[in-house]
Amino acid sequence: RKKSRHIPVRALLERAPDVLMSIAPCWVASPLSVSQLLHGNNQFFDMVIFDEASQILQEEAIPALYRANQVVVAGDKHQLPPTTFFATAIEENDDLDFSDGDNDKTIVTESIGGFESLLDTLEAFLPKWSLDWHYRSEDERLITFSNTYVYSNRLITFPSVHNREAISYVQIPHDPSLGGQEESTSLEVKEVVRQVLSHAEKRSNESLGVITMGIKHANRIQAALDRKLNSHPELSNFFSLSREERFFIKNLETVQGDERDAIILSIGYGKTASGDLPHRFGPLTQDVGYRRLNVAITRAKKRMCVISSFSHNDIDSNRSKSRGVQLLKKYLEYVASGGRQLPELEKFGGVELNPFESDIKDALYSKGIKTLSQFGVSCYRIDLVAMHPQKKGKPVLAIECDGASYHSSATARDRDRLRQEHLQRLGWRFHRIWSTDWFYSREQEINRAICAYNEAVRISDLEDINTKKTNMIDSSKKLVEILHKPSPTTRSPRPNIPKYSSINSYSIKELKQIADWVKSDGLLRTDEELVREIFNELPFRRLGSKIEERLYKAAGIRFTQQYLF
């Protein structure tokens, strides 16, 4: 409770290290904080873990390494390398015409002796484990492209039970009258803003992020969105900074580590007035440019929307040998097909069933249950997936057997617990058939499978009904909001009060005039709704406690601490 004369953390830790480490045995700090806070004469920690080690320079890691007995380094060499100040200055200039990347690597690595990161240095002699299970994407199509072209199909992904559109693509038509917009096209900016507002209105329960190739394009989108939000105060909650996964607009260099339910990737670069596409894609053309694209296209958990003013056909592979540009061309083709264009996505029938699995498939088919075999796109596939009897193409039940794929798992924990838990987390109903039970009690196992199938169909139908009810309730709420939304035509004339830059510039009398004008339409409101509407008439972006207290006073409402939360 002391207000002043605090002992600096560095000095306190030097004087009472055992006490502080007992109170807080786990510390989270940046490399710079380690040097600032921890005295250099003690090894305080048994272990230091570096996360995102591909972005940490060796010289930044030394202070933390010096203070620990053991080290764990976690990172992905296919994601962003460290960016020095010089490299960042170049990357922020979207006007520069980068070469194909043959000499660009020195920009990032010259000052650190040819090793680009802590991960790169320690990978040579530390024991290495590969974390291959992919958990972020709830639909395989969101990670399939990177898994194929970047990770050599090493990642283990899991099929989704939902039929929603996971990947969408919007191509902005070329307008010859809008020349000089090769770095950031105005029509694409407008489309991104439209998509953002549509998401905020229809999917406010899902988090959203916007990723751009260049900083200039990101700034233009932010400015255009801010102008639009002035006329949409009802969406302020979605864009609140207090949300756990708040909305963001970021360029490629600053998005690593972020994830959102939905991602909008805006390419930004456009054609000249004559219709030619300059093959200047900024940092994407560098030697490590493909990593930037890999980071951008793997941030989404549920859905991905890609917006560009040109198609994959406009990119000439002969004009740029950069791997990043080549992958961009392939990725635009992939998203244009909705995530169905890769040869690897021909997923049904590519793997033969063993006799045990075939016997189960035939037995269920004879009972009227249609199944798809080897469901999925990665090295892990569901043995059999039972489909809904009336709703074509809708899977309802995952059926796993202890066949070849089961025994190929490295550990019992993987095959007996983790795979089932993850499938259920993705929304699957799960049923297991053991080979010994099938051979000794075939009819009993068939009946068990039929019961599990019928239950899965019943639950699937209930979920569809609940979804429809939720959509109807949401529509009704929106209708009520529209019907009860105050209309300026029902109010008295708005008082002629200037818009000040500070709440303190308003007198209570002026704020009371605005409050009386809002209440003049005669509609019933809660105290919070009234204060919110008064706030919407002021030129401020955030309703802080200071503004809130003055507005409650102007509206004649007793202000209590509860309104701060």
pLDDT digits (tens, 9 = 90+) for 71-119: 999 988 888 877 653 344 444 444 444 444 444 443 444 445 677 888 8
- What amino acid is encoded at 469 in this protein? K
Q: How many residues does the chain have?
A: 565
Average pLDDT taken over every residue of the chain: 80
Cα-to-chain-centroid distance, residue 547: 33
Residue 537 CB neighbour total at 10 angstroms: 16
pLDDT computed for residue 565 by the predictor = 32
Specify the pLDDT at position 522.
Answer: 64
pLDDT of 501 higher than 60: yes
Helix (H, G, I), strand (E, B) or coil at 264: strand
Q: Is the pLDDT of residue 560 over 80?
A: no
pLDDT confidence tier of residue 351, bands split at 50, 70 and 90: low
Task: Determine the pLDDT at residue 210.
Answer: 96
Q: What is the pLDDT of residue 266?
A: 93
Q: What percent of the chain has pLDDT over 70?
A: 82
pLDDT for position 101: 43
pLDDT exceeds 60 at position 147: yes
Residues 421-435: what's their mean pLDDT?
A: 84
pLDDT band at 209 (very low <50, low <70, confident <90, very high): very high
The two beta strands, 382-387 and 395-401, are antiparallel
Closest CA to 93 of 245, 212, 184, 216: 216
pTM of structure: 0.67
Percent of residues, the chain, with pLDDT higher than 90: 15
pLDDT at position 303 is 93
Distance CA 257, CA 137 (A): 14
Asked if residue 470 has pLDDT above 80, the reply is: no
pLDDT attached to residue 12? 86
* Cβ neighbours of 286 (radius 10 Å): 27
pLDDT above 90: residue 137: no
Instruction: Tell whether the torsion through CA atoms of 344, 347, 349 and 350 is positive or negative.
Output: positive
Tokens read off for 260:
């959102």
**Higher model confidence: residue 485 or residue 356?**
356
pLDDT tier for residue 337 given thresholds of 50, 70 and 90: confident
